[in-house]
Amino acid sequence: MNKKKWVVFVLGATSVCLLVLMIINIIVDPFMQYHSPLSEMKPYYKYTQEYAMYWLIGRVKNTPTEAVIVGSSLSNFISSDKLSEQSGLKVVSLSKSAGRPNIYTLFLRESLKRNRLQTIYYELNFPHLHMEYEGDIPLYLYNFNPIDDIKYVLNKDVSKMSDDILISWLGDQFQPGNDKRDKIPAKTVFEVDRSQSTSIYSTLAVARSLYVRHGKVDDKSSVIDYRTKAKNNVEQNIIPFLKENPEIKFVFIVPCISILNTYDLVCEGTVDDYLAIHKDIMLTILKYDNAEIHMFSDLEGFVNNLDNYKDRIHYAPAGGDLICNGLKTGAYKVTPENIDERLRHLKSIADSFEIPFLKEGFTGDDVLEMKQQLIALGYNCRANKVYDGQTRDVVAEFQADHRLEVTGIATAETRALLQELSGYIS
């Protein structure tokens, strides 16, 4: 074969391979850009967080609905099935871990193009309201330009997922004695963060998270920065939808994040500043007749019980039930008439909250008191207000000496025993 024929052969073979690859990706379509999952292969589709920006827009395109939930992983336990039952509408969740208003806008625009939505459930998460989503966004999937489809059908991740689905399906077809009827999609197929369902929710889990208590701040430039960015986010990503869709009911959900968030603002001395901003934002939204706000961040007995959390914001499944039930009864609706009372209540919970653990990175009088107790019991540590690495090691030593779980975190049990033993000495 001469050189010219060889080049033609290679180009032809490459073209055929690419064509076959494109056809497979279109037929299998692992992220639902052209159709919903193939019924025979549905159990093999995987919806991982890594590719959420792909399959979420696919879900928007190919799942007819009357209502949607947009939010972050904080909306993971707000059951679309329960909301469907309560509202009589088909509700689809479009929640994305680390989601922020700028990507909610993408999801809503696409959903509004394809559906006659009656209700939009919108997560209004104040600690993150000033932020934007910083992950990769495959914007070519969020338009109607067919030329951009090439980027999808020849995408290596799409091809890999198609291969995984096809190989898994074919493997089961030829497996002797395999009962394919038992292979059904998992209920959590569209779960935003699968790890949450198996997470441990406890005070110790919160203590082991990245949480570090805040200290007093003199410079309030961060408050000014928050106000500017949060209000811009509302003006750019929320208000236009309220104005352009007066026939759609917007249900804003302030999720039941732990009291640690407001407690930190109390520790900083900025709580009144931030709550004033939150009030202003909520009143701005409530100017529109098609908007209502349900606030769950002041549910005393839940938000101040850290056993309901795995970190400062992510609540256990019971929190999702509380939210769904609250939306049904309307018991936690915010109005211009009750907003001051609600925010005062939230602040009072934070004011009276006593954190049940101390850990590395904390500072304060309670740290000094604990270290003085350790010194009184003969342990070697410096009497200051800083919970540093040495303090962690000394606390771990004390825990080991007294057959407590060795964590280096001064849990409520550890602090109680310290109080008791040092009291005997004094």
How do residues 207-233 score in pLDDT, each as one tens digit?
999 999 999 998 999 999 999 999 999
Q: Could you confirm whether domain 365-425 is CATH 1.10.8? A: no
pLDDT at 184: 46
3 pLDDT exceeds 80? no
Residues 278-292 have a mean pLDDT of: 98
Residues 22-42 have a mean pLDDT of: 88
185 pLDDT exceeds 60? no
112 pLDDT exceeds 70? yes
pLDDT at 87: 96
424 pLDDT exceeds 70? no
pLDDT at 187: 38
- Choose the weakest-confidence range: 101-115, 365-379, 412-426: 412-426
pLDDT at 148: 79
Q: Where in the chain is the domain with CATH 1.10.101?
A: 365-425
Residues 24-30 have a mean pLDDT of: 91
pLDDT at 176: 57
Q: Which of 252, 273, 406, 413 is nearest to 343 (CA)?
A: 273
pLDDT at 344: 98
pLDDT at 191: 44
